[in-house]
Structure 1
Amino acid sequence: MSARGGYGDIFAGHQRKKKVPVPTVRAERDLVVEDAASGFCGAVVGFDRSYDGDFVKLEDGRGAVRLFALREAAFLIDGKPVTLVRPTAPAPQPPTRSASGSTRVDNLRARVARTSRIWVEGVHDAALVERVWGHDLRVEGVVVEHLEGLDNLGARLTEFGPGPGARVGVLVDHLVTGSKETQLTTGLGPHVLVTGHPFIDVWQAVRPAAVGIEAWPVVPRGEDWKTGICARLGWGTPQQGWRRVYDAVGSFRDLEPPLIGAVERLIDFVTEPE
Protein backbone atom coordinates (compact mmCIF):
# COMPACT_ATOMS: atom_id res chain seq x y z
CA MET A 1 0.00 0.00 0.00
CA SER A 2 1.42 3.29 -0.96
CA ALA A 3 1.75 6.10 1.49
CA ARG A 4 -0.81 8.02 -0.49
CA GLY A 5 -3.14 5.01 -0.52
CA GLY A 6 -2.80 4.35 3.22
CA TYR A 7 -3.09 7.82 4.62
CA GLY A 8 -4.96 9.65 1.91
CA ASP A 9 -3.90 12.91 0.29
CA ILE A 10 -1.94 14.83 2.93
CA PHE A 11 -2.57 18.07 0.94
CA ALA A 12 -6.37 17.66 1.01
CA GLY A 13 -8.02 20.51 2.94
CA HIS A 14 -4.90 22.64 2.73
CA GLN A 15 -5.43 24.23 -0.68
CA ARG A 16 -4.19 27.86 -0.84
CA LYS A 17 -7.13 30.26 -0.60
CA LYS A 18 -7.45 32.97 -3.22
CA LYS A 19 -6.68 36.43 -1.92
CA VAL A 20 -9.86 38.50 -1.79
CA PRO A 21 -9.21 41.99 -3.16
CA VAL A 22 -9.68 44.79 -0.65
CA PRO A 23 -11.72 47.72 -1.99
CA THR A 24 -10.16 51.16 -2.15
CA VAL A 25 -12.17 53.99 -0.58
CA ARG A 26 -11.54 57.73 -0.85
CA ALA A 27 -11.08 59.14 2.65
CA GLU A 28 -13.57 61.97 2.27
CA ARG A 29 -14.09 64.28 5.23
CA ASP A 30 -16.55 62.91 7.87
CA LEU A 31 -16.29 59.34 6.55
CA VAL A 32 -16.46 57.05 9.63
CA VAL A 33 -13.92 54.20 9.71
CA GLU A 34 -12.31 51.87 12.26
CA ASP A 35 -8.59 51.26 12.58
CA ALA A 36 -8.31 47.49 12.21
CA ALA A 37 -5.31 47.17 14.53
CA SER A 38 -6.43 49.27 17.51
CA GLY A 39 -10.19 49.33 17.16
CA PHE A 40 -10.22 53.15 17.27
CA CYS A 41 -13.29 54.40 15.44
CA GLY A 42 -13.69 57.94 14.19
CA ALA A 43 -14.53 60.30 11.38
CA VAL A 44 -11.98 61.58 8.87
CA VAL A 45 -11.06 65.18 9.77
CA GLY A 46 -7.81 65.72 7.89
CA PHE A 47 -4.47 64.41 6.73
CA ASP A 48 -0.79 64.71 7.51
CA ARG A 49 2.42 63.75 5.76
CA SER A 50 5.89 62.83 7.05
CA TYR A 51 8.92 60.89 5.87
CA ASP A 52 6.92 57.74 6.71
CA GLY A 53 4.20 58.58 4.21
CA ASP A 54 0.61 59.83 4.38
CA PHE A 55 -1.54 59.70 7.50
CA VAL A 56 -5.24 60.21 8.08
CA LYS A 57 -6.65 62.04 11.12
CA LEU A 58 -9.61 60.36 12.80
CA GLU A 59 -11.75 62.01 15.48
CA ASP A 60 -13.90 59.87 17.76
CA GLY A 61 -17.18 60.81 19.42
CA ARG A 62 -15.37 62.32 22.43
CA GLY A 63 -13.26 64.64 20.32
CA ALA A 64 -10.03 62.64 20.54
CA VAL A 65 -7.96 62.87 17.35
CA ARG A 66 -5.39 60.25 16.33
CA LEU A 67 -3.18 59.71 13.29
CA PHE A 68 -3.14 56.45 11.34
CA ALA A 69 -0.98 55.47 8.40
CA LEU A 70 -2.74 55.04 5.07
CA ARG A 71 -1.77 51.41 4.50
CA GLU A 72 -3.42 48.61 2.59
CA ALA A 73 -6.41 46.98 4.36
CA ALA A 74 -5.65 48.98 7.53
CA PHE A 75 -9.24 50.12 8.17
CA LEU A 76 -12.72 48.67 8.49
CA ILE A 77 -16.04 50.01 7.26
CA ASP A 78 -19.05 48.10 8.56
CA GLY A 79 -16.61 45.43 9.73
CA LYS A 80 -15.11 44.87 6.27
CA PRO A 81 -11.47 45.75 5.45
CA VAL A 82 -10.79 48.65 3.12
CA THR A 83 -7.78 50.57 1.89
CA LEU A 84 -8.18 54.29 2.42
CA VAL A 85 -6.64 56.70 -0.08
CA ARG A 86 -6.27 60.43 0.19
CA PRO A 87 -8.71 62.25 -2.11
CA THR A 88 -7.16 64.10 -4.99
CA ALA A 89 -7.82 67.83 -5.12
CA PRO A 90 -10.24 68.79 -7.89
CA ALA A 91 -8.67 70.58 -10.80
CA PRO A 92 -9.08 74.33 -10.43
CA GLN A 93 -11.81 75.69 -12.63
CA PRO A 94 -11.01 78.71 -14.77
CA PRO A 95 -12.82 81.84 -13.66
CA THR A 96 -15.95 82.66 -15.60
CA ARG A 97 -15.64 86.40 -14.94
CA SER A 98 -12.82 88.77 -15.73
CA ALA A 99 -11.49 91.32 -13.24
CA SER A 100 -13.91 93.88 -14.69
CA GLY A 101 -16.89 91.59 -14.03
CA SER A 102 -17.46 90.79 -17.70
CA THR A 103 -17.82 87.25 -19.02
CA ARG A 104 -14.34 85.82 -19.59
CA VAL A 105 -13.61 84.68 -23.13
CA ASP A 106 -11.10 81.82 -23.06
CA ASN A 107 -8.99 80.37 -25.87
CA LEU A 108 -9.55 83.45 -28.00
CA ARG A 109 -6.76 85.23 -29.80
CA ALA A 110 -6.55 88.94 -29.14
CA ARG A 111 -7.93 90.67 -32.20
CA VAL A 112 -5.92 93.06 -34.33
CA ALA A 113 -5.73 96.44 -32.63
CA ARG A 114 -8.40 98.94 -33.59
CA THR A 115 -7.48 102.34 -34.91
CA SER A 116 -9.54 103.88 -32.11
CA ARG A 117 -7.67 104.43 -28.86
CA ILE A 118 -8.17 105.12 -25.18
CA TRP A 119 -5.83 107.71 -23.71
CA VAL A 120 -5.13 108.21 -20.02
CA GLU A 121 -3.12 110.87 -18.24
CA GLY A 122 -0.28 108.85 -16.78
CA VAL A 123 1.36 105.46 -16.38
CA HIS A 124 -0.48 104.70 -13.12
CA ASP A 125 -3.84 105.29 -14.80
CA ALA A 126 -2.81 102.96 -17.64
CA ALA A 127 -1.64 100.26 -15.23
CA LEU A 128 -4.89 100.24 -13.24
CA VAL A 129 -7.01 100.18 -16.39
CA GLU A 130 -4.97 97.21 -17.65
CA ARG A 131 -5.21 95.53 -14.25
CA VAL A 132 -9.01 95.53 -14.26
CA TRP A 133 -10.03 95.80 -17.93
CA GLY A 134 -7.05 94.16 -19.63
CA HIS A 135 -8.99 91.05 -20.64
CA ASP A 136 -11.82 93.10 -22.15
CA LEU A 137 -9.42 95.36 -24.02
CA ARG A 138 -7.56 92.44 -25.59
CA VAL A 139 -10.81 90.81 -26.68
CA GLU A 140 -11.95 94.08 -28.27
CA GLY A 141 -8.54 95.01 -29.68
CA VAL A 142 -8.37 98.35 -27.86
CA VAL A 143 -4.99 99.91 -27.08
CA VAL A 144 -4.55 102.15 -24.02
CA GLU A 145 -1.88 104.86 -24.21
CA HIS A 146 -0.82 107.44 -21.63
CA LEU A 147 -0.43 111.11 -22.49
CA GLU A 148 2.29 111.90 -19.94
CA GLY A 149 0.15 114.81 -18.82
CA LEU A 150 -3.13 116.29 -19.98
CA ASP A 151 -1.35 119.36 -21.35
CA ASN A 152 -0.24 117.16 -24.27
CA LEU A 153 -3.82 116.32 -25.29
CA GLY A 154 -4.24 119.01 -27.94
CA ALA A 155 -1.01 118.19 -29.76
CA ARG A 156 -1.73 114.46 -29.63
CA LEU A 157 -5.21 114.92 -31.10
CA THR A 158 -3.81 117.03 -33.94
CA GLU A 159 -1.27 114.32 -34.69
CA PHE A 160 -3.79 111.47 -34.42
CA GLY A 161 -6.62 113.08 -36.39
CA PRO A 162 -9.80 111.57 -34.88
CA GLY A 163 -12.58 110.67 -37.33
CA PRO A 164 -15.02 107.91 -38.29
CA GLY A 165 -13.46 104.57 -37.28
CA ALA A 166 -10.67 106.38 -35.45
CA ARG A 167 -12.21 107.53 -32.21
CA VAL A 168 -10.37 108.65 -29.10
CA GLY A 169 -11.62 108.14 -25.57
CA VAL A 170 -9.86 110.19 -22.90
CA LEU A 171 -9.82 109.33 -19.18
CA VAL A 172 -9.13 112.36 -17.00
CA ASP A 173 -8.34 112.76 -13.30
CA HIS A 174 -10.07 115.49 -11.27
CA LEU A 175 -12.70 116.18 -13.93
CA VAL A 176 -14.89 118.61 -11.98
CA THR A 177 -16.65 121.82 -12.89
CA GLY A 178 -14.28 124.78 -13.17
CA SER A 179 -11.07 122.74 -13.05
CA LYS A 180 -8.19 123.10 -15.50
CA GLU A 181 -8.91 119.57 -16.66
CA THR A 182 -12.44 120.51 -17.68
CA GLN A 183 -11.21 123.54 -19.63
CA LEU A 184 -8.69 121.43 -21.54
CA THR A 185 -11.24 118.80 -22.59
CA THR A 186 -14.21 120.76 -23.95
CA GLY A 187 -15.22 121.15 -27.59
CA LEU A 188 -13.02 118.36 -28.98
CA GLY A 189 -15.47 117.13 -31.61
CA PRO A 190 -17.85 114.19 -32.06
CA HIS A 191 -15.11 111.60 -32.43
CA VAL A 192 -13.55 112.34 -29.02
CA LEU A 193 -15.19 111.40 -25.73
CA VAL A 194 -13.80 112.65 -22.44
CA THR A 195 -14.83 110.95 -19.20
CA GLY A 196 -13.24 111.09 -15.81
CA HIS A 197 -13.55 110.95 -12.06
CA PRO A 198 -13.55 113.67 -9.39
CA PHE A 199 -10.50 112.40 -7.51
CA ILE A 200 -7.25 114.36 -7.40
CA ASP A 201 -5.26 111.32 -8.54
CA VAL A 202 -6.16 107.85 -9.78
CA TRP A 203 -4.78 106.43 -6.50
CA GLN A 204 -7.73 108.03 -4.77
CA ALA A 205 -10.10 106.14 -7.08
CA VAL A 206 -9.03 102.95 -5.27
CA ARG A 207 -11.30 102.19 -2.33
CA PRO A 208 -9.57 102.96 1.00
CA ALA A 209 -10.54 99.54 2.39
CA ALA A 210 -8.68 97.85 -0.46
CA VAL A 211 -5.38 99.40 0.66
CA GLY A 212 -6.14 98.89 4.36
CA ILE A 213 -6.97 102.46 5.41
CA GLU A 214 -10.15 104.15 6.62
CA ALA A 215 -9.85 107.12 4.28
CA TRP A 216 -7.37 108.86 2.03
CA PRO A 217 -5.58 111.62 3.97
CA VAL A 218 -6.12 115.25 3.04
CA VAL A 219 -3.07 116.84 1.43
CA PRO A 220 -3.01 120.66 1.36
CA ARG A 221 -3.03 122.43 -2.01
CA GLY A 222 0.52 123.16 -3.18
CA GLU A 223 2.01 119.98 -1.69
CA ASP A 224 2.77 117.08 -4.02
CA TRP A 225 -0.20 114.80 -3.49
CA LYS A 226 1.51 111.40 -3.77
CA THR A 227 4.45 112.48 -1.60
CA GLY A 228 2.04 113.85 0.99
CA ILE A 229 -0.06 110.69 1.00
CA CYS A 230 2.97 108.44 1.49
CA ALA A 231 4.32 110.64 4.30
CA ARG A 232 1.02 110.61 6.19
CA LEU A 233 0.49 106.86 5.77
CA GLY A 234 4.10 105.84 6.38
CA TRP A 235 4.37 104.26 2.94
CA GLY A 236 7.87 105.51 2.14
CA THR A 237 8.47 106.93 -1.31
CA PRO A 238 5.76 107.42 -3.95
CA GLN A 239 7.27 104.45 -5.80
CA GLN A 240 6.74 102.27 -2.73
CA GLY A 241 3.27 103.70 -2.21
CA TRP A 242 2.32 102.95 -5.80
CA ARG A 243 3.28 99.32 -5.32
CA ARG A 244 0.87 99.13 -2.38
CA VAL A 245 -1.93 100.68 -4.39
CA TYR A 246 -1.37 98.51 -7.46
CA ASP A 247 -1.11 95.25 -5.51
CA ALA A 248 -4.35 96.07 -3.64
CA VAL A 249 -6.44 96.10 -6.83
CA GLY A 250 -7.65 92.69 -7.92
CA SER A 251 -10.95 93.54 -9.59
CA PHE A 252 -13.45 96.32 -10.21
CA ARG A 253 -14.73 95.85 -6.66
CA ASP A 254 -11.58 97.57 -5.38
CA LEU A 255 -12.32 100.74 -7.37
CA GLU A 256 -14.70 103.63 -6.78
CA PRO A 257 -17.83 103.72 -9.00
CA PRO A 258 -16.93 106.99 -10.82
CA LEU A 259 -13.77 105.43 -12.26
CA ILE A 260 -15.56 102.21 -13.18
CA GLY A 261 -18.30 104.08 -15.01
CA ALA A 262 -15.84 106.36 -16.79
CA VAL A 263 -13.77 103.48 -18.20
CA GLU A 264 -16.82 101.45 -19.22
CA ARG A 265 -18.18 104.43 -21.20
CA LEU A 266 -14.87 104.86 -22.99
CA ILE A 267 -14.69 101.20 -23.98
CA ASP A 268 -18.25 101.36 -25.32
CA PHE A 269 -17.45 104.55 -27.25
CA VAL A 270 -14.35 103.26 -29.03
CA THR A 271 -15.88 99.86 -29.86
CA GLU A 272 -19.42 100.69 -30.95
CA PRO A 273 -20.10 100.53 -34.70
CA GLU A 274 -20.41 103.86 -36.46
Structure 2
Amino acid sequence: MTPDRYGSDVLAGDWKAPRRGRSAQVEAARDLVVEDADSGWVGAVVRVEKAGGMHVVHLEDRRGRVKAFPLGPGFLIDGKPVELTAPRTDTAALAAQRATKSRTASGSVAVPDAPARVASASRILVEGRHDAELVEKVWGDDLRVEGVVVEMLDGVDDLQAVIRDFRPGPQRRLGILVDHLVPGSKETRIVEQARAAAPSEHVLIVGHPYVDVWQSVRPERLGWSQWPTIPRGTSWKHGILAELGWPHASQADVAHGWKRILGTVRTYADLQPELLGRVEELIDFVTVP
Protein backbone atom coordinates (compact mmCIF):
# COMPACT_ATOMS: atom_id res chain seq x y z
CA MET A 1 0.00 0.00 0.00
CA THR A 2 1.41 3.37 -1.02
CA PRO A 3 1.78 5.69 1.96
CA ASP A 4 -0.14 8.98 1.86
CA ARG A 5 2.61 11.56 1.26
CA TYR A 6 0.39 14.42 2.32
CA GLY A 7 -1.20 12.99 5.49
CA SER A 8 -4.94 12.96 6.25
CA ASP A 9 -7.37 15.41 4.71
CA VAL A 10 -7.36 18.45 6.99
CA LEU A 11 -10.90 19.25 5.89
CA ALA A 12 -12.27 15.78 6.63
CA GLY A 13 -12.97 16.44 10.32
CA ASP A 14 -15.03 19.05 12.12
CA TRP A 15 -12.54 21.77 11.26
CA LYS A 16 -15.07 24.55 11.78
CA ALA A 17 -15.67 23.58 15.42
CA PRO A 18 -15.06 26.45 17.92
CA ARG A 19 -11.98 26.27 20.11
CA ARG A 20 -14.08 25.38 23.20
CA GLY A 21 -16.16 22.85 21.30
CA ARG A 22 -19.72 22.97 20.08
CA SER A 23 -22.54 23.95 22.42
CA ALA A 24 -24.54 21.24 24.13
CA GLN A 25 -28.19 21.86 24.90
CA VAL A 26 -28.92 22.14 28.63
CA GLU A 27 -32.28 22.76 30.26
CA ALA A 28 -32.38 26.05 32.18
CA ALA A 29 -33.48 24.38 35.40
CA ARG A 30 -33.82 26.49 38.54
CA ASP A 31 -30.53 26.87 40.50
CA LEU A 32 -28.38 25.79 37.54
CA VAL A 33 -25.20 27.93 37.69
CA VAL A 34 -24.00 29.28 34.33
CA GLU A 35 -21.78 32.04 32.95
CA ASP A 36 -22.71 34.47 30.20
CA ALA A 37 -19.80 34.14 27.77
CA ASP A 38 -19.90 37.78 26.60
CA SER A 39 -20.18 39.64 29.91
CA GLY A 40 -18.69 37.08 32.32
CA TRP A 41 -21.78 37.32 34.55
CA VAL A 42 -22.08 34.17 36.68
CA GLY A 43 -25.34 33.30 38.36
CA ALA A 44 -27.95 30.70 39.18
CA VAL A 45 -31.12 30.37 37.14
CA VAL A 46 -34.06 31.81 39.09
CA ARG A 47 -36.69 31.80 36.35
CA VAL A 48 -37.34 31.67 32.61
CA GLU A 49 -40.07 33.79 31.07
CA LYS A 50 -41.29 35.17 27.77
CA ALA A 51 -40.76 38.91 27.34
CA GLY A 52 -40.95 41.05 24.20
CA GLY A 53 -41.66 38.03 22.02
CA MET A 54 -38.58 36.10 23.19
CA HIS A 55 -37.59 33.85 26.06
CA VAL A 56 -35.20 35.25 28.66
CA VAL A 57 -33.43 33.61 31.56
CA HIS A 58 -32.86 35.47 34.83
CA LEU A 59 -29.55 34.75 36.60
CA GLU A 60 -28.87 35.66 40.24
CA ASP A 61 -25.24 36.13 41.26
CA ARG A 62 -23.87 35.37 44.74
CA ARG A 63 -24.52 38.95 45.84
CA GLY A 64 -28.23 38.60 45.15
CA ARG A 65 -28.24 40.70 41.97
CA VAL A 66 -30.45 39.44 39.12
CA LYS A 67 -29.86 40.04 35.41
CA ALA A 68 -31.80 38.82 32.37
CA PHE A 69 -30.26 37.27 29.22
CA PRO A 70 -31.78 35.90 25.99
CA LEU A 71 -32.36 32.17 26.30
CA GLY A 72 -30.28 30.13 23.87
CA PRO A 73 -26.55 29.86 23.05
CA GLY A 74 -23.79 31.98 24.53
CA PHE A 75 -23.46 30.45 28.00
CA LEU A 76 -20.74 28.43 29.71
CA ILE A 77 -20.85 25.68 32.32
CA ASP A 78 -17.44 24.82 33.76
CA GLY A 79 -15.88 26.64 30.81
CA LYS A 80 -17.74 24.59 28.19
CA PRO A 81 -20.29 26.21 25.84
CA VAL A 82 -23.95 25.37 26.29
CA GLU A 83 -27.23 26.41 24.76
CA LEU A 84 -29.88 26.98 27.41
CA THR A 85 -33.33 25.62 26.59
CA ALA A 86 -36.68 26.27 28.26
CA PRO A 87 -37.48 23.96 31.22
CA ARG A 88 -39.41 20.83 30.31
CA THR A 89 -43.14 20.67 30.81
CA ASP A 90 -43.57 17.17 29.47
CA THR A 91 -44.89 14.11 31.25
CA ALA A 92 -41.47 13.02 32.48
CA ALA A 93 -40.86 16.39 34.11
CA LEU A 94 -44.25 16.36 35.80
CA ALA A 95 -43.62 12.83 37.02
CA ALA A 96 -40.28 13.94 38.47
CA GLN A 97 -41.99 16.83 40.25
CA ARG A 98 -44.59 14.48 41.73
CA ALA A 99 -41.85 12.12 42.88
CA THR A 100 -40.05 15.02 44.58
CA LYS A 101 -43.23 16.10 46.35
CA SER A 102 -43.66 12.56 47.71
CA ARG A 103 -40.51 13.10 49.78
CA THR A 104 -39.91 15.45 52.67
CA ALA A 105 -36.96 17.86 52.70
CA SER A 106 -35.05 15.28 54.74
CA GLY A 107 -35.54 12.63 52.04
CA SER A 108 -38.13 10.65 54.00
CA VAL A 109 -41.31 9.34 52.41
CA ALA A 110 -43.97 12.02 52.91
CA VAL A 111 -47.14 11.17 54.81
CA PRO A 112 -49.90 13.19 53.06
CA ASP A 113 -52.25 15.13 55.35
CA ALA A 114 -50.76 13.54 58.45
CA PRO A 115 -51.85 15.44 61.58
CA ALA A 116 -49.13 16.49 63.99
CA ARG A 117 -48.84 13.91 66.75
CA VAL A 118 -49.24 14.97 70.36
CA ALA A 119 -45.78 15.94 71.57
CA SER A 120 -43.86 13.18 73.30
CA ALA A 121 -41.98 13.76 76.54
CA SER A 122 -38.67 13.35 74.75
CA ARG A 123 -36.95 16.43 73.36
CA ILE A 124 -34.16 17.57 71.07
CA LEU A 125 -32.24 20.63 72.26
CA VAL A 126 -30.16 22.84 69.95
CA GLU A 127 -27.95 25.82 70.82
CA GLY A 128 -29.83 28.71 69.26
CA ARG A 129 -32.53 30.05 66.98
CA HIS A 130 -30.65 29.52 63.74
CA ASP A 131 -30.01 25.86 64.60
CA ALA A 132 -33.70 25.39 65.39
CA GLU A 133 -34.82 27.07 62.16
CA LEU A 134 -32.50 24.91 60.05
CA VAL A 135 -33.65 21.70 61.74
CA GLU A 136 -37.28 22.76 61.27
CA LYS A 137 -36.80 23.49 57.57
CA VAL A 138 -35.23 20.13 56.73
CA TRP A 139 -36.69 17.76 59.35
CA GLY A 140 -39.83 19.60 60.47
CA ASP A 141 -42.30 17.31 58.66
CA ASP A 142 -40.64 14.20 60.12
CA LEU A 143 -40.56 15.61 63.64
CA ARG A 144 -44.25 16.52 63.58
CA VAL A 145 -45.17 13.01 62.49
CA GLU A 146 -43.07 11.61 65.35
CA GLY A 147 -44.32 14.14 67.89
CA VAL A 148 -40.81 15.41 68.70
CA VAL A 149 -40.31 19.02 69.81
CA VAL A 150 -37.06 20.93 69.20
CA GLU A 151 -36.19 23.54 71.82
CA MET A 152 -33.41 26.16 72.07
CA LEU A 153 -30.71 26.15 74.73
CA ASP A 154 -29.37 29.66 74.11
CA GLY A 155 -25.85 28.31 74.73
CA VAL A 156 -24.42 25.27 76.48
CA ASP A 157 -22.60 26.94 79.39
CA ASP A 158 -24.97 25.40 81.97
CA LEU A 159 -25.50 22.04 80.28
CA GLN A 160 -25.30 20.05 83.53
CA ALA A 161 -28.21 21.99 85.01
CA VAL A 162 -30.25 21.59 81.81
CA ILE A 163 -29.89 17.81 81.92
CA ARG A 164 -30.62 17.66 85.66
CA ASP A 165 -33.75 19.80 85.37
CA PHE A 166 -35.05 17.77 82.42
CA ARG A 167 -35.01 14.54 84.51
CA PRO A 168 -34.40 12.10 81.62
CA GLY A 169 -35.77 8.56 81.79
CA PRO A 170 -36.87 5.60 79.61
CA GLN A 171 -39.93 7.47 78.29
CA ARG A 172 -38.27 10.89 78.50
CA ARG A 173 -35.19 10.87 76.32
CA LEU A 174 -33.05 13.91 75.71
CA GLY A 175 -30.99 14.57 72.59
CA ILE A 176 -28.65 17.58 72.46
CA LEU A 177 -26.93 19.08 69.39
CA VAL A 178 -23.83 21.17 70.14
CA ASP A 179 -21.94 23.52 67.81
CA HIS A 180 -18.14 23.37 67.41
CA LEU A 181 -17.71 20.01 69.15
CA VAL A 182 -14.04 19.48 68.28
CA PRO A 183 -11.02 18.47 70.39
CA GLY A 184 -9.84 21.28 72.65
CA SER A 185 -12.86 23.53 72.21
CA LYS A 186 -14.77 25.10 75.10
CA GLU A 187 -17.88 23.22 73.98
CA THR A 188 -16.08 19.88 74.18
CA ARG A 189 -14.93 20.54 77.75
CA ILE A 190 -18.49 21.49 78.78
CA VAL A 191 -19.93 18.33 77.20
CA GLU A 192 -17.32 16.10 78.85
CA GLN A 193 -18.08 17.62 82.26
CA ALA A 194 -21.83 17.19 81.75
CA ARG A 195 -21.43 13.56 80.73
CA ALA A 196 -19.27 12.86 83.79
CA ALA A 197 -21.58 14.67 86.22
CA ALA A 198 -24.84 13.18 84.99
CA PRO A 199 -24.22 9.94 83.10
CA SER A 200 -27.42 8.56 81.63
CA GLU A 201 -28.32 6.10 78.90
CA HIS A 202 -31.34 8.30 78.23
CA VAL A 203 -29.24 11.32 77.18
CA LEU A 204 -27.34 11.62 73.91
CA ILE A 205 -25.07 14.60 73.25
CA VAL A 206 -23.63 14.93 69.74
CA GLY A 207 -22.17 17.81 67.80
CA HIS A 208 -20.87 19.09 64.50
CA PRO A 209 -17.42 20.65 63.90
CA TYR A 210 -18.58 24.03 62.64
CA VAL A 211 -18.07 27.31 64.51
CA ASP A 212 -21.66 28.18 63.66
CA VAL A 213 -24.51 26.21 62.13
CA TRP A 214 -24.33 28.53 59.10
CA GLN A 215 -21.28 26.54 57.98
CA SER A 216 -23.33 23.36 57.76
CA VAL A 217 -24.91 24.79 54.58
CA ARG A 218 -22.91 23.67 51.58
CA PRO A 219 -20.80 26.64 50.39
CA GLU A 220 -21.81 25.99 46.78
CA ARG A 221 -25.29 27.27 47.66
CA LEU A 222 -23.67 30.69 48.16
CA GLY A 223 -21.39 30.55 45.14
CA TRP A 224 -18.28 29.47 47.08
CA SER A 225 -16.11 26.37 46.87
CA GLN A 226 -15.51 26.64 50.62
CA TRP A 227 -16.49 28.87 53.51
CA PRO A 228 -14.00 31.76 53.92
CA THR A 229 -11.74 32.07 56.95
CA ILE A 230 -12.64 35.08 59.10
CA PRO A 231 -9.70 36.77 60.91
CA ARG A 232 -9.53 36.59 64.70
CA GLY A 233 -11.06 39.58 66.37
CA THR A 234 -13.77 39.90 63.74
CA SER A 235 -17.30 38.76 64.48
CA TRP A 236 -17.64 35.55 62.45
CA LYS A 237 -21.17 36.19 61.22
CA HIS A 238 -20.45 39.82 60.37
CA GLY A 239 -17.32 38.71 58.53
CA ILE A 240 -19.25 36.15 56.49
CA LEU A 241 -21.87 38.70 55.50
CA ALA A 242 -19.11 41.13 54.51
CA GLU A 243 -17.56 38.43 52.28
CA LEU A 244 -20.95 37.97 50.63
CA GLY A 245 -21.24 41.71 50.08
CA TRP A 246 -24.42 41.85 52.16
CA PRO A 247 -25.30 44.42 54.88
CA HIS A 248 -23.64 43.43 58.16
CA ALA A 249 -23.54 46.48 60.47
CA SER A 250 -26.40 45.56 62.80
CA GLN A 251 -28.00 42.55 64.43
CA ALA A 252 -30.95 43.07 62.10
CA ASP A 253 -28.53 42.69 59.18
CA VAL A 254 -27.29 39.41 60.65
CA ALA A 255 -30.85 38.14 61.05
CA HIS A 256 -31.71 39.10 57.48
CA GLY A 257 -28.48 37.55 56.19
CA TRP A 258 -29.30 34.26 57.90
CA LYS A 259 -32.77 34.26 56.32
CA ARG A 260 -31.14 34.59 52.91
CA ILE A 261 -28.72 31.75 53.65
CA LEU A 262 -31.53 29.57 55.02
CA GLY A 263 -33.48 30.35 51.85
CA THR A 264 -30.82 28.60 49.77
CA VAL A 265 -31.48 25.33 51.61
CA ARG A 266 -34.03 23.23 49.76
CA THR A 267 -33.40 19.69 51.02
CA TYR A 268 -30.92 17.66 53.06
CA ALA A 269 -28.68 17.58 49.97
CA ASP A 270 -27.81 21.24 50.60
CA LEU A 271 -26.30 20.46 54.02
CA GLN A 272 -22.93 19.05 55.03
CA PRO A 273 -22.90 15.36 56.07
CA GLU A 274 -21.33 16.25 59.45
CA LEU A 275 -24.63 17.87 60.45
CA LEU A 276 -26.95 15.47 58.63
CA GLY A 277 -25.63 12.41 60.42
CA ARG A 278 -25.83 13.99 63.87
CA VAL A 279 -29.43 15.21 63.51
CA GLU A 280 -30.57 11.85 62.13
CA GLU A 281 -28.82 10.17 65.07
CA LEU A 282 -30.68 12.35 67.55
CA ILE A 283 -34.06 11.76 65.91
CA ASP A 284 -33.48 7.99 65.99
CA PHE A 285 -32.45 8.21 69.65
CA VAL A 286 -35.46 10.15 70.93
CA THR A 287 -37.99 8.14 68.88
CA VAL A 288 -36.89 4.69 70.06
CA PRO A 289 -40.08 2.85 71.17
TM-score when normalising by structure 2: 0.61
Once residues 160 and 263 of structure 1 are traced to their aligned partners in structure 2, the CA distance between those partners, rounded to angstroms, is 20
1:217 Cα deviation after fit? 1.2
1:219 and 2:230 aligned: yes
1:256 and 2:239 aligned: no
1:265 and 2:276 aligned: no
1:222 Cα deviation after fit? 3.3
Report if aligned partners of 1:204, 1:216 keep a CA contact under 8 Å in 2.
Answer: yes
Once residues 113 and 245 of structure 2 are traced to their aligned partners in structure 1, the CA distance between those partners, rounded to angstroms, is 43
Which residue pairs with 1:183 in the alignment?
189
Shift >3 Å, 4+ stretches: 90-94
1:148 and 2:154 aligned: yes
1:93 Cα deviation after fit? 4.0
1:212 Cα deviation after fit? 2.3
Equivalent of 1:107 in 93, 107, 113: 113
Equivalent of 1:168 in 168, 174, 182: 174
Report if aligned partners of 1:168, 1:270 keep a CA contact under 8 Å in 2.
Answer: yes
* Superposition RMSD in Å: 2.2
User: Computing the radius of gyration over CA atoms, which structure comes out larger, 1 or 2?
Assistant: 1
Once residues 139 and 171 of structure 1 are traced to their aligned partners in structure 2, the CA distance between those partners, rounded to angstroms, is 20
1:215 Cα deviation after fit? 2.0
Which residue identity lines up with residue 165 of structure 2 in the other structure? E
Once residues 101 and 216 of structure 1 are traced to their aligned partners in structure 2, the CA distance between those partners, rounded to angstroms, is 25
1:208 and 2:219 aligned: yes
The SS at the match of 2:281 is helix
Q: Which sits farther off after the overlay, 119-128 or 183-192?
A: 183-192
1:135 and 2:146 aligned: no
Provide Cα deviations, 1:120-148, integer angstroms capped at 9, x if missing partner.
00000000000000010000000000101
1:245 and 2:256 aligned: no
Which residue pairs with 1:199 in the alignment?
210
In structure 1, stretches of 5+ residues that fail to align are 1-47, 49-86
Once residues 251 and 109 of structure 1 are traced to their aligned partners in structure 2, the CA distance between those partners, rounded to angstroms, is 22
Which residue identity lines up with residue 261 of structure 1 in the other structure? G
The SS at the match of 1:104 is coil
| Match runs of 1:4-43 below 5 Å | none
Once residues 163 and 224 of structure 1 are traced to their aligned partners in structure 2, the CA distance between those partners, rounded to angstroms, is 39
Equivalent of 2:242 in 210, 228, 231: 231
In structure 2, stretches of 5+ residues that fail to align are 1-49, 51-89, 249-253
Once residues 272 and 133 of structure 2 are traced to their aligned partners in structure 1, the CA distance between those partners, rounded to angstroms, is 16
Q: Which sits farther off after the overlay, 127-136 or 90-99?
A: 90-99
Once residues 122 and 221 of structure 1 are traced to their aligned partners in structure 2, the CA distance between those partners, rounded to angstroms, is 22
The SS at the match of 1:102 is coil
1:124 and 2:140 aligned: no
Once residues 107 and 151 of structure 1 are traced to their aligned partners in structure 2, the CA distance between those partners, rounded to angstroms, is 40
1:221 Cα deviation after fit? 2.9
1:108 Cα deviation after fit? 1.6
Q: Percent identity?
A: 55
1:247 Cα deviation after fit? 0.4
